[in-house]
Structure 1
């Protein structure tokens, strides 16, 4: 049964991930600019799902491969429990946010806020099903706590992170809180640690200065993924 769940999760991740480049292309714009509706040559972009053809979402880590790998890992950790379906289902949105953040250092509200609502609602349904290994109350508290923590960091140092990071913390905190406060602390800490190590690496290699900004969202997501994997295997 576990192998079947993993195969299905990988197939889902690959299929949905293959359609993310077009959305990433359309959303990767500077704040205040409208979403892209046309190719550089003036042709209209048809819809939001599919291969972009403009370079959006392409590169060293294709979205299909990333989504497939993450979905497979989450399914392997959570097994045939209802929360596995929730984590796998929302993974493409998290990957899309990471692509956009890397491209333009922006986490659009059109993704972060629905992601927070969907994660909380779906885990609420999962909590009602047999074999659920987490707590919906803990998930809601985890989302509120991580959002509040990032809001405090933003108020202390607005140049260090943006409000998009605060909003992304809501769904990540919900996912981490599902498995308890130990997992929440681990995922929250690792997200900041991964980002700090990356920034330190940029400084040491001369590719950035102390004032150089970089996308924190992907590292927050990586920390949350690590925490959820630990929680899933330990449940």
Structure 2
């Protein structure tokens, strides 16, 4: 294969990966909202306005709230407001979207936005959003997938990274929101990583070893388990389960990659905690979500391992 042909193939892979990341990232907001329930609580089944949230994939927007309809469970709406401070502002607005819309129209009939909608209608449209915005998640997932494809090229394991990346972004978003890594995501992710890498190992031109991927999952999972047992307040058990998947992905490229990705995760977490201390937004006893840094460290380790392979 000529150099020009190889470069063209790599560019096509990167473009396809970016489009895949944007498409899958756009499907994450609803799942991020539903999984963002505090530890011990069931996954969210209703929007802050009290309407049922159907399905797990798609944008986080309620059509009934946008139409100004009242929720079927006022008590649920109030509990959502009190239990999730990040959603309180939107919850209060959506709980009275019909009232605010009518009052806005009756007292200021001549004032409307450039789009021709009345103020109450614009407010209801904003209230309809109940979770993370679609554009940021789609952009982050697209960038992650494109970077992984650029580092891996046309080797078969690139398909594995593209399948795992959206789940990693989703886990990071949920952990940042409520400091919780859901079992329905962490445990299947570890199993999927090992199965998919096992399939990739059967395809010619792969650049990793499945045996070290398996050992990496066991070693990193055991290491995080020790940290959890030593200091349960500083390391959650969800991090231990996520470490299994991270260890498998990093171990695919060997032990140096595993150590690099692990170190990168702890370094990023330490830098974030230090920044909070400097900004006086936390003290030394403040717990921070470690899942996003574990995912970011694994991402950086995979990039380095793929480039070096």
TM-score band, normalised by shorter chain: over 0.9
Q: Matched residue pairs, number?
A: 234
1:39 maps to which residue? 47
Q: Which residue of 2 aligns with 1:189?
A: 263
**Structure 1 residue 168: deviation in Å?**
0.5
CA distance in 1, matches of 2:148, 2:130: 28
Within the candidate set 204, 208, 211, 1:134 is matched to 208
- Higher-Rg structure is 2
Determine the C-alpha separation between the residues in 2 that align with 1:66 and 1:89: 15
- For 1:18 and 1:214, the matched residues in 2 are separated by 27
Counterpart position of 1:66: 140
SS in 2 for 1:62: helix
Q: Alpha-carbon deviation of 1:75?
A: 0.4
Q: Once superposed, what is the RMSD of the aligned Cα atoms?
A: 1.1
2:22 corresponding residue in structure 1: 14
Note the C-alpha offset of 1:23.
0.3
1:215-226 superposed matches below 5 A: 215-226=289-300
Partner of 1:51: 59
Cα deviation code 1:150-202 (max 9, x no counterpart):
00111111111100000010000100000000000000111011101110111
Please show how residues 9-158 of structure 1 align to structure 2 within 5 Å: 9-53=17-61, 54-58=129-133, 62-158=136-232
2:220–2:244: 8 Å Cα contact kept in structure 1? yes
The alignment status of 1:168 with 2:176, answered yes or no, reads no
CA distance in 2, matches of 1:31, 1:125: 35
Stretches of structure 2 lacking an aligned partner (at least 5 in a row): 1-8, 62-128
TM-score by length of 2: 0.74
